Amino acid sequence: MPDDIVVLIKAQHREVERLLDQAEEEGADTLALLRQVSDLLIPHSEAEESFVYPAIKRYDSSEADEVKDGTAEHHHIEAVLTELLAEDPDSPGYDGKQAGMVGELRHHIEEEEQDLLPVLSEKASAEERADMAARFAAATSWTGGAGGDGDATRDELYERAKEQGVPGRSDMAKDELRDAVDEA
């Protein structure tokens, strides 16, 4: 897990973008992918609003409007995403609505990284950025995203368990292996 809030938020953004790319592919399981986007994005945005945005505003009061816009964007994106999850992806107008939400979300991520997160990189201490990262990871149940444990196959986790000498590993399911490897 990154020990810097800025690195952690950007890692979650990359994971969201990876899922959006997949959702836009021909023949994708749109609802399953948008559900994954929603599961990742909602706790991410809530954590930003509860303690990341307030810290940014504290360090740089000139970003207050940007923070307000960012919060409004979260709520609009979430509202459209919730509607998309309740509709049939083959219904007329769905693709356009999905494209609109995806465009707004990509733009939100870009602005957050360009305008807001640099305030923390420049003004928060390394210790505070590490504290915020731990709090953010806990709030979002983050285990690492693409390439991290979240996406490791059972075989990869089994190999790690073997290296660590985890007892009973042969009988473990993927989730049990992940917990055992995380704990070791």
DSSP-assigned states of every residue in 154-169? HHHHHHHHHHTT-TTG
Residue 79 beta carbon to Fe ion: minimum distance, rounded to whole angstroms: 15
In the bound state with Fe ion, the residue whose beta carbon lies nearer, of 52 and 166, is 52
Residue 47 beta carbon to Fe ion: minimum distance, rounded to whole angstroms: 9
In the bound state with Fe ion, the residue whose beta carbon lies nearer, of 15 and 48, is 48
Beta carbons of 73 and 90 less than 8 angstroms apart:
no
Which of 125, 95, 101, 133 has its CA nearest to residue 6?
Answer: 133
Residue 89 beta carbon to Fe ion: minimum distance, rounded to whole angstroms: 25
Residue located via tokens 């149940």: 141
In the bound state with Fe ion, the residue whose beta carbon lies nearer, of 11 and 34, is 11
Applying CB under 5 A, the residues found at the interface with Fe ion are 48, 112
Residue 57 beta carbon to Fe ion: minimum distance, rounded to whole angstroms: 14
CA 163, 166, 170, 176 torsion-angle sign: negative
